[in-house]
Structure formats: C-alpha cells, structure tokens
Structure 1
Amino acid sequence: MNIKIIAIGKTDSAQLKELIDLYAKRIGFYVNFELDIIPDIKNSKNLSEAQQKDKEGDLILKKLQPTDVMVLLDERGKTFNSVQFSDYLQKKMNAGIKQLVFVIGGPYGFSDAIYQKAQGKVSLSQMTFSHQMVRLFITEQIYRAFTILRNEPYHHQ
C-alpha cells in the first residue's frame, strides 16, 4: 500500500518542515510515502470562503487516482489512540488498498465535493491546530503506527 498526504499551502517554519521530512523519511522504510503540497490559492482575499474551498477542492480532486481511498483529517472525524490508529492502517492494508490518501484542507476546511468523495474522516484531536502542525502530527502518527505494527520499541504504553 502507498500512503499519500495532500495538503494546501507550504510549510513556513523550517523547524516544522525538518521534522515532517524526518518522519516522512522514516515512513519510507515501511511503505511508499508521498507528501503532496498544493500551493495556496492566489488572490484568495478576493474569494468568499465557499469559493476558496471549492477551488481548493478542485485542486485536491485533480491529485487523486480513481482507485485512491481518500480520508479527510477533519475535526468531526473518528478519533483514535495510537494503537487503534495502527489497527486502522492494518485494516486498510489488509483490504488491498493501492493508495491511502490523507487530506489536510485549507484554512476554511473542505468543499462539499470533497466531503462527498471522501471515504472516511479522522480527527487528530478536538483541539484546533494550524494546518502546518497537522502535517507533523499525522506523519509522526503514521510512523508510530508502523512501529506498533512491527512491534518496534518507539511506542510505549
């Protein structure tokens, strides 16, 4: 199985980017992994929230293959602890999914088209985090999940 993260907008913080890259590299030891960054929408100040979400949604949909399973990182999604998340990934792998795609939306969330196409929603927390922090948290949790599945000493309970 391949895992891909699609996110809107670049990571401004060099420290966050360095950590995201570290975990992305580590994930690569277990599965093919890709972080696909969609540039911020130009002239977004001239758009309504709905228009911005629609434009971002169109760009996200263009990045998907027909067989991709798209899961949104959404505050209203299912919550997991780390062991449960590792089980979730294992079930996805067992289902024979070619590519699992986690999507991090823009500042206003997702368009209706994205919600309709999504095959699941995962929440990292009930708290609100910057989209840049979410990238770090999901890459670290994917890495942690694989170490749990391989019974490696990274995760402690």
Structure 2
Amino acid sequence: MNVKILCVGKIKEKFFRDAISEYSKRLSKYCNLEIIEVSDEKTSENASDTEISLVKSKEGERILKHIKEKDFVIALAILGKQLDSVAFSKYIENLGISGHSSIAFVIGGSLGLSDEVMKRSDYQISFSEMTFPHQLMRVVLLEQIYRGMRIMNNEPYHK
C-alpha cells in the first residue's frame, strides 16, 4: 500500500520532526510512505473572509498538484467522520481490499482546506471536534496509521 501525506507548512520544532521520523521509520515495514509539504501562505491576524478564501485556495492549488487520479483522498476535517482506531484500521484495510492501493491523507494549514480540496476528497475524517495545530496532527495521523497497520496485521498495540 502507498500512503501519501500532503500537508501545508514545514515542521520547525525538533520534537515534532523527531516523532514524524520515528513513525515514518516504523511505517516503512507496512507501506510506502511519502510526506509532501507544500508552502503555506502568510495571513494577517485580521484577515477578511475574502483573504482567508484566497489563502486557502492558493494552498489548495499546491496540494492538488500532488494528488494523482488514482489516489483515494482522505481529508482531515473537523466535520469529518470520527472513527475509533479499530474502525479506522478496518476502513484502511477495506480500501486496500477494494483496490485502492494509493491513499492520500490531506492536512490543511491553519485556516483549513479549500473547497476545491474538499470536493476532490473521497472521504473526510475528524480526529476530534477540537482544533489542533497542523504540526501536531501530522504526528497524530502517522501514529494512527501505524496503529492501524498493526491492528490489520494482528500485532499487539496499546489500547
């Protein structure tokens, strides 16, 4: 299985980079992992709705350039479906069984994802109703993909 994580912005904090590196290494046993970072747009504190829409649109264009036609796209969105770890694992496993060998997870920037990216997504998932920094979500997503792979392979995982 090919897993692609498309995300807006670079990770500056060493502790996040270390965690991402560790989970990437662990996942190499289960899938081909590719992490693609697209640059974020600078946004003023008091940005208007029009400016926010423009920022999301520009970031969205950068994301969409990396999505291939065969990719099954899962957008991380606060209004997406919430799954527990076992259900998430089964969902990913069923994608593979049904012929989707390339999955692209998309993490937006601080303002979220553009309408164009949301329209291209095949599924939307939410990890919580809370808002998390996109740097932290990258770590959480990698951990859940790793946990899901272990569940799929009937390997022990921390409950």
CA distance in 2, matches of 1:82, 1:98: 20
Offset of residue 155 of structure 1: 2.9
Q: Which amino acid aligns with 1:83?
A: V
Unmatched tracts of structure 1, length 5 or more: none
**1:22 corresponds to:** 22
Q: TM-score, normalised by structure 2?
A: 0.92
- How far does the alpha carbon of each residue in 1:61-88 deviate from its partner, in whole angstroms, 9 at most, with x for none? 1011111111100010010111111101
Within 5 Å, which residues of 2 pair with 1:64-83? 64-83=67-86
The alpha carbon displacement at 1:21 in A equals 1.1
The alignment partner of 1:140 has SS state of helix
Letter in 2 for 1:108: L
Of residues 48, 53, 58 in structure 1, which corresponds to 2:51?
Answer: 48
Which AA in structure 2 matches 1:2?
N
Mind listing any 5+ residue stretches in structure 2 that lack a counterpart? none
Deviation at 1:95, TM superposition (A): 1.2
> Shift of residue 151 of structure 1?
1.5
123, 130, 134: which one pairs with 2:133?
130
- Counterparts of 2:158 and 2:80, CA distance in 1: 23
1:44-75 superposed Cα distances (whole Å, 9 cap, x missing partner)? 44881000000011101101111111110001
Residue 28 of structure 1 and its aligned partner are, at CA, apart by: 1.1
The 2-side partners of 1:122 and 1:97 are apart by: 17
After superposition, the CA RMSD in angstroms is: 1.4
Which runs of at least 4 in structure 1 moved beyond 2 Å after TM superposition?
43-47
Indicate the percent of aligned positions where both proteins have the same amino acid: 37
The amino acid across from 1:48 in the alignment is E
Q: Does 1:112 align with 2:139?
A: no
Which residue among 77, 88, 105 is the counterpart of 1:102?
105
Alpha carbons 2:39, 2:59 under 8 Å: kept: no
